[in-house]
Amino acid sequence: MSDVSEDFKFTLKVMINKEKNKVLFAESDSHFVDTLLSFMTLPMGRIIKLLDNHYGEKAPAIGSLSSLYHSLAHFDSAHFVTKDAKKILLNPRSSFEDKYRMLKLDFIDCQSTEYLYCFICSHSHEPRGVSIYYDRPYCRMCLNFSSITKKDVLKLDFIDSKGVFISDKACFIISDDLQIFPSATGLFRIMSVLCIADMDEADAIDVTIGLDEILSLLKLSFIIPTPLSFLILNKTSLVLDSGPKTLVSHNEIQENPEYKKMVLKLAIQKSKSKVLYAQAEEDFVEFLFSFFNIPLGGIGHLLAGKTCIKAIDNLQRSIAELIGDKYFKSPDMKMNLMKPNLVHGCVSEKYILPLNQECLPADDSNNIEFLPSTKFPKGQGKYLDGPLAYVVMDDLTVTPLCIHSIVSSLQEKNIPMSDVEEMELQVGLKEALSILKASLTSTSALTDALLNSMPIKHPKREV
């Protein structure tokens, strides 16, 4: 059985420079590295929920994603196609749920699969259907909806204890900014890569890492370029990550010609060259909400390892380049971490970002079928019920369109109508990736992602 526990603690051997109050590097076994790599498998909505639950009002803001998440939380459920659609966005599943149960430290609050069975159908002595969607489950044998009831979650009698993502035999070096190397890389090579000039004055200390520290490390990874020093040495002053916040400019980006671009009406404050808000249809709002389903590693893949968050980019680079193929449990494991799949059934029918969703699994040993959605048999549908127009603020706060509220907001901010200009913008893949990137680090995501970066046209005036 699994020995996963919230009480488990890791012990790290940490080399520090006392004079500079800085961590040089830490040495650990594979179990701690498995936990670090699990960060990259978590959907963004799950990360925000974990930090909110742990820190409450003191939870850190992750760019504009936090304000987007909290506006979703306050959304009336009547705007969604079902009452559970909103819940899935707020607490999205991961394609790695089975792996989370194998981690030594239970910090993720992994979601158990809900097994259902039909008490009418004679073929249903064993569980046959698994609910992974936000619409009604049904029995495939008798096509009955009302006969479905829950059955206890099946327990795993055996869990592979030989590592989760990487082999449990090796030890690893973790830098202050979360670069991960096998210890076999060698001291002098690691010193060279990390630009450590002198180890003569270094001191070794043992550090215990538990649940609170892991969640703190997850938090610090988004806001600090050197999270280990701040975690281990209890630094009080934060030097926020100030990496270059460049827009997406991949030459290899190719638009899908079958995809209809989303249209925004931007209200821009001319005197400050700032987006005040955007008027959008439900397709753009669904696109924004889809950020919460994307694993952190998937975002790193979409942005070519350049999220502008140093520690996160280093974790992505560690998987791709530094750890080494032979240390992963399998070649597929490395690829799945570099480009994690979306959970089957969470993708909107107008999904624009080039990430794959997982295939429906099969479990013949337990006679279980993973049933497709009744509404969206191909695993694609929608979350929001429409048609309805929305207002998206610069920090990605979303509300249903209300003209009175817009006028009141402009008046409260003392922004005269003469200082506001409306422009129309088409959002394709390049713009979508720019918004995703800006949302990670900026509280003015629309301004940073869209203004002065794309051709904008004035809307036609009706006579």
Which tens digits make up the pLDDT trace of 141-189? 665 554 445 544 444 444 455 789 999 999 999 999 999 999 999 999 9
Residue whose entry in the numeric block shows the structure tokens 């560690």:
318
Read off the DSSP letter of residue 197: -
Mean pLDDT comparison of 41-55, 239-253, 363-377, highest-scoring range = 41-55
Read off the DSSP letter of residue 172: E
Identify the pLDDT of residue 83. 76
Identify the pLDDT of residue 139. 60
Identify the pLDDT of residue 364. 43
Strand-pair category, 380-381 with 347-348:
parallel
Mean pLDDT within 227-255: 65
DSSP string covering 274-316, please?
EEEEEEE-HHHHHHHHGGGGSBHHHHHHHTTT--S-HHHHHHH
DSSP string covering 361-406, please?
PEEGGGTEE-PPPSS-TTSEE-SB-SS--EEEETT--EEE--HHHH
Least confident of 241-245, 262-266, 440-444: 241-245
Residue whose entry in the numeric block shows the structure tokens 């497709």:
372
Identify the pLDDT of residue 217. 98
CB contact at 8 A, 24 and 157:
no
Closest by CA to 396, choosing from 245, 242, 243, 264, is: 264
Express each pLDDT in 305-335 by its tens digit.
999 999 999 999 999 999 999 999 998 999 9
Identify the pLDDT of residue 299. 97
pLDDT bin (cut points 50, 70, 90) of residue 436 is very high
Identify the pLDDT of residue 1. 38
Mean pLDDT within 188-197: 93
Taken in order 15, 17, 21, 22, is the CA torsion positive or negative?
Answer: negative
Express each pLDDT in 221-237 by its tens digit.
999 999 999 999 986 55
Task: Give the span between the Cα atoms of 296 and 108, in whole angstroms.
Answer: 14
Residue 79 has pLDDT above 50, yes or no: yes
Residue 292 has pLDDT above 70, yes or no: yes
Identify the pLDDT of residue 73. 96
Identify the pLDDT of residue 316. 98
CB contact at 8 A, 392 and 401:
no
Identify the pLDDT of residue 351. 80
Identify the pLDDT of residue 204. 95
Residue 241 has pLDDT above 60, yes or no: no
Q: What percent of the chain clears pLDDT 70, i.e. is strictly above it? A: 75
Identify the pLDDT of residue 67. 98
Identify the pLDDT of residue 177. 97
Q: What percent of the chain clears pLDDT 90, i.e. is strictly above it? A: 61
Identify the pLDDT of residue 128. 47
Task: Provide Rg for the chain, Cα atoms.
Answer: 24
Task: Give the span between the Cα atoms of 462 and 131, in whole angstroms.
Answer: 49
Residue 89 has pLDDT above 50, yes or no: yes
Is 357 strand, coil or helix?
A: strand
Mean pLDDT within 429-445: 96
pLDDT bin (cut points 50, 70, 90) of residue 348 is confident
pLDDT bin (cut points 50, 70, 90) of residue 110 is confident
Tell me the C-alpha to C-alpha distance, in Å, between residue 393 and each of 276, 386, 407.
Answer: 6, 20, 14
